[in-house]
Chain A
């Protein structure tokens, strides 16, 4: 069974701190990795994608990928209460037709 693992949390950080969200995956052949944010009662929205080892920055968000360790992370700098949500890690499992496998998500709480 190909899996994507995330700590369910909640991860609690104070406003202004760095939030670090982690994800591991089982399929070494995976090539594409995504982070989605899901507010309570809402549908997921894509916030970051990463395809190569290293860091990718977009505003306050940084995605980090280490394929050798099968590890992908999302850093949120200067966390805001509006960042409080569940963050879903998704991995493209290469099985002929590319499709995403999602982790169960990490709930982030940013306190004022």
Chain B
């Protein structure tokens, strides 16, 4: 089975902190994605990567950056956390097609 693992299940950070969310997949997938999920807004794509060191902006990239130094790892960085970034963050990976396998999610609270 595909396994996508996110480093934290729950995080609480202070406004202005730099926050790192880590995601690792064990199936040698080319494509990795970061989404956030908010009530009433559904899943929204923040960034995606189709290869090592390659990244593309999704629909809501503002306030975020990403890093993909190794194929299996895709990191989401909140440069200066704000309260409006309180959300559920979901990492996903896929091989070729757009079928995505999701990690367990990180619920981030910014206070």
Contacts and interface: CB of A to CB of B under 8 A. Distances in A.
Interface of A: 8, 32, 34, 42-46, 49, 88, 90, 92, 97-105
Contact of A43 (B41, B50, B103): B103
Interface residues of B, number: 22
30 contacts: A32-B97, A32-B98, A34-B98, A42-B105, A43-B90, A43-B102, A43-B103, A43-B104, A43-B105, A44-B43, A44-B90, A44-B102, A45-B102, A46-B99, A46-B100, A88-B43, A92-B98, A97-B56, A98-B98, A99-B33, A99-B45, A99-B48, A100-B98, A100-B100, A101-B45, A102-B35, A102-B42, A102-B43, A102-B44, A104-B41
B95 to A, nearest CB: 12
Nearest to A1: B59
Nearest to B107: A41
A32 B100 CA distance: 13
Given A97-B50, A99-B45, A34 B99 contact: yes
Nearest to A34: B99
A67 to B, nearest CB: 17
A103 B90 contact: no
Contacts of A45: 102
